[in-house]
Chains A and B, each alone.
Chain A
Amino acid sequence: MDVSFDGVRYTYPGGVEAVKGVTLAIPSGQRFAIVGQNGAGKTTLVRHLNGIFQPTEGTVHVGDWTTTGHTIAELSAKVGYVFQNPDEQLFARRVIDDVAFGPRNLGFDLDRAEALVAAALEQTGLSAEAETHPHHLSLSERKRVALAAVLAMDTPIVVLDEPTTGQDERGVRMIATIVEKLQSEGRTVIAITHDMDFCAENFERTVVMAQGEVLADGAPSEVFIQDAVLEKARVEAPQLARLADALGWASRPLTVDSFVDSLPAHRR
């Protein structure tokens, strides 16, 4: 399902304008990442997708719907939103109850709900923790419970707010696999991240935001070469792009393989 922001502005009740005229069209099935420093307006922008915020100006479309015409509950059937802080999302006494809440609430029949819950727990590596109280898990595990709870809702759009925070290497790989699988199922994946390597390796399109505006929009290979934009947004390029830059290369490889492939050409 596609989404679009058309001239979206959002001003918080206290008067702070967090989003200043953003226009973006995200086609169905795209892996789309938003990067930018803390306070750039990233979370405020994506919270429009499930109606937590309604634009002060402009419109937000989710599929055929304009978000202003629909409730958060209605939009939640289309947009699964994984919060940055899992404790804003989790409330049940058992992991399985948190994960099952969404599909039950959406009125899925029991068999479908059970299958979705089991699959979500497996994908997030939490099958063995189904009976555990979420508060007995580490923060990184609770983040995966929050992710599982959204996966089980089977929504065509999945929004991930800082999905790799606190995750170890295995956790990051698990999330990368989930992102890939969601896309292979035709879902739209929108992620906010400070992890530029995760972004460069797993997303086909990256938007850089600063002070409520979009400064750059394109493939990671096009975005992470725009030094002036990265500096203005206080965004650091992925590790190997920084290395290539420091070595004076014109190209900015983003993965280990592409970096090593480029090495022989840079021998004097």
Chain B
Amino acid sequence: MIDLADVSYAYPDTDHYVLSHVNLKVEPGTVTGIVGASGSGKTTLAKIISGFIPHVDGGELSGSVVVDGATIADVTLSEAVSHVGLVIQSPFNQISGAKFTVREELAFGLENLGVAREEMAERVTAVAELLGITGLLERSPYALSGGQQQLVAIASMIIMNTPVLVMDEPTSQLDPGGTRMVFDVMSSLRDAGITLVVFEHKLELLREHADIVHVLAESQLIASGPSRAMLADPRLEKWGIGSTRFTAAAAAARDRKLLSKDAELPVSLTDAVPEFRAFAAKKGA
């Protein structure tokens, strides 16, 4: 569904390659998590997959980017956005600025595509329900909290029904409840056949929702694997990504010989409970 081959990129007026020889294949109907320290190029990669690079930001892009069968560099931005939607990192910048209510804001993209009024209204109602923002529909997008704006920004992309959705730290402004809801929505979109790529620091939730996780470091996708194995990998520390407290506690317990060295390190609560229950069931030394 997404195929990046030997992609390198430098922003305009620099000769510094933010990304260098990146290869990425994403299967349709999956959630792919990408983790990386600040400055590792996550936002740049998100913009490349979604066509904002090179169509908006310019710069020097080499290699091939194919998304949903479209070679992104060869199609116009308006065609690219019919294949892939991007939820940008800062919701304050995703709001169009052209609309007075959340309802109008959500309909904005569909209006531009000439979608019939009745269908537009139905899709606005459905996406607002999905993200629990029905109560905000008549409010101004600018009179919302950061978290509420982020939900509106996410809804404004989901409503476009693109086969691929790229999300750049989509839960940064949200409380834990809102964060879990957005991850649950991602999983249900995946179950409906949408392909998602999510850039996140919240490792516990990535563990629970991503099918595969890639690590971005040193300008490259340096490692990848199933979410539990990848997110418990001790090299994440070196790459500035860190670990969950579940992983850290299990690693510390292993060091003190309280847990078996053979036990796979947990990343989430669901992983950790059986590991520590097994420990508690053993007779004390």
Q: Which residues of A come within 8 Å of B, CB atoms?
A: 14, 36-39, 43, 84-85, 87, 138-141, 162, 165-172, 194, 196-197, 234-236, 238-240, 242-243, 246-247, 256-257, 259-260, 263-264, 266-268
Contacts of B252 in A (CB 8 A): 256-257, 260
Contact of B90 among A37, A87, A264 (CB under 8 A): A87
Contacts of B175 in A (CB 8 A): 36-38, 194, 234-235
A36-B175, A194-B175, A247-B273 given; A256·B258 CB < 8 A: no
Contact A256 B248 (CB under 8 A): yes
Contacts of B169 in A (CB 8 A): 139, 166
Contacts of B146 in A (CB 8 A): 38, 84-85, 162
Query: Chain B interface secondary structure, helix, strand, loop or mixed?
Result: helix
A238-B245, A260-B253 given; A141·B143 CB < 8 A: no
- Per-residue CB contact flags for chain B residues 163-204 toward chain A (1 = under 8 Å, else 0) read 000000100111111110000000000000000000001001
Contact B258 A243 (CB under 8 A): no
Contacts of A84 in B (CB 8 A): 146, 173
> CA of A243 to CA of B266 in the docked complex: distance in angstroms?
11
Contacts of A264 in B (CB 8 A): 258, 284
Contact A138 B39 (CB under 8 A): yes
A39-B145, A247-B277, A256-B252 given; A162·B173 CB < 8 A: yes
* Shortest distance between the CB of B272 and any CB in chain A (Å): 5
* Shortest distance between the CB of A26 and any CB in chain B (Å): 22
Contacts of B241 in A (CB 8 A): 168-169
| List of 6 A-B pairs having minimum Cβ-Cβ separation, nearest first | A169-B242, A38-B147, A236-B176, A239-B245, A234-B177, A37-B175
Contact A268 B280 (CB under 8 A): yes
Contact A14 B246 (CB under 8 A): no
* Shortest distance between the CB of A60 and any CB in chain B (Å): 21
> CA of A192 to CA of B226 in the docked complex: distance in angstroms?
34
Contacts of A170 in B (CB 8 A): 37-38, 240, 242
Contacts of A196 in B (CB 8 A): 176
Extra inter-chain contacts (11) besides given A36-B175, A43-B145, A168-B241, CB under 8 Å: A85-B92, A87-B92, A138-B38, A169-B241, A234-B177, A239-B246, A247-B276, A256-B249, A259-B249, A266-B280, A267-B282
Contact A166 B245 (CB under 8 A): no
Contact of A260 among B92, B145, B258, B281 (CB under 8 A): B258
B64: Cβ under 8 A from any A Cβ? no
B50: Cβ under 8 A from any A Cβ? no
B89: Cβ under 8 A from any A Cβ? yes
Contacts of A140 in B (CB 8 A): 38
Number of interface residues of B (CB under 8 A): 49
Contact A263 B176 (CB under 8 A): no
- Per-residue CB contact flags for chain B residues 69-109 toward chain A (1 = under 8 Å, else 0) read 00000000000000000000110110000000000000000
Contact of A239 among B242, B244, B277 (CB under 8 A): B244
Q: Return the chain B residue nearest A165 by Cβ.
A: B172
Contact B201 A38 (CB under 8 A): no
B279: Cβ under 8 A from any A Cβ? yes
Contact A260 B256 (CB under 8 A): yes
Contacts of B242 in A (CB 8 A): 168-170, 172
Contacts of A235 in B (CB 8 A): 175-176
Contact B38 A167 (CB under 8 A): yes
Contact of A234 among B176, B244, B245 (CB under 8 A): B176
Contacts of A14 in B (CB 8 A): 143
Interface residues of B in 11-48 (CB under 8 A from A): 36-39, 43
* Shortest distance between the CB of B134 and any CB in chain A (Å): 15
* Shortest distance between the CB of A124 and any CB in chain B (Å): 12
Contacts of A168 in B (CB 8 A): 36-38, 201, 240-242
* Shortest distance between the CB of B202 and any CB in chain A (Å): 10
B269: Cβ under 8 A from any A Cβ? yes
B148: Cβ under 8 A from any A Cβ? yes
Contact A247 B280 (CB under 8 A): yes
Which has the most chain A C-beta neighbours within 10 Å: B37, B169, B248, B249?
Answer: B249
* Shortest distance between the CB of B137 and any CB in chain A (Å): 15
Q: Return the chain A residue nearest B284 by Cβ.
A: A267
Contact of B38 among A171, A242, A268 (CB under 8 A): A171
A243-B272, A260-B258 given; A38·B245 CB < 8 A: no
